[in-house]
Copies of this chain bind each other. A is one copy, B any other.
Amino acid sequence: MTMPLAKFDPKLDLKLEREIDVPVHLVWKAWTTPAHLKQWFVPKPWTIASCELDLRPGGIFRTVMRSPEGEEYDNSGCYLDVVPNERLIFTDTLLPGYRPAPKPFFTGALLLSPLGATGTRYVAYAIHGDEATRENHEKMGFHDGWGTVASQMVDYIKSGAVPA
């Protein structure tokens, strides 16, 4: 089956591409295991207060981000496409069970491929419905934010915390 994700449109969408020196299967584990994801998924000193993952199409993908001041922000959505060690597509336009969400914002995609023996080509997309939403996401700090957490994830994996 061909890739189901919309073609990247620079007017509507955002993309982060990295070549990282940790292997694909550990990146997959870091993204799909709540105990690991909590450690790196938001730029420090913010934290992930809680996280719920049901790794299948229609399954919950929920994180609660906590600011240093203790304010919490709930991000609820569901997975759409789950191909271990290859791609993870999720959205906040649908809640678990595909129920339409109150505040649809974007569809996210993580694409992984091996780079040499132990590295990963890491590509993350944010797919939006219009230019204003893309601009808004960009102003919210998409590039810094997603870049920072990718670096945090690499450091976390390198610390040995994600078993092979």
Contacts and interface: CB of A to CB of B under 8 A. Distances in A.
Interface stretch (A66-74, A93-101, A148-156): A93-101
A128 interface: yes
Given A93-B93, A93-B94, A6 B80 contact: no
B133 A100 contact: yes
Contact of A56 (B4, B93, B130): B4
Interface in A128-153: 128-130, 133
A93 B57 CA distance: 15
A128 to B, nearest CB: 6
A127 B98 contact: yes
A1 B57 CA distance: 10
Interface in A1-39: 1, 4-7, 12
A91 interface: yes
A92 to B, nearest CB: 9
A107 interface: yes
A59 to B, nearest CB: 7
A104 interface: yes
Interface of A: 1, 4-7, 12, 56-59, 80-81, 89, 91, 93-102, 104-107, 127-130, 133
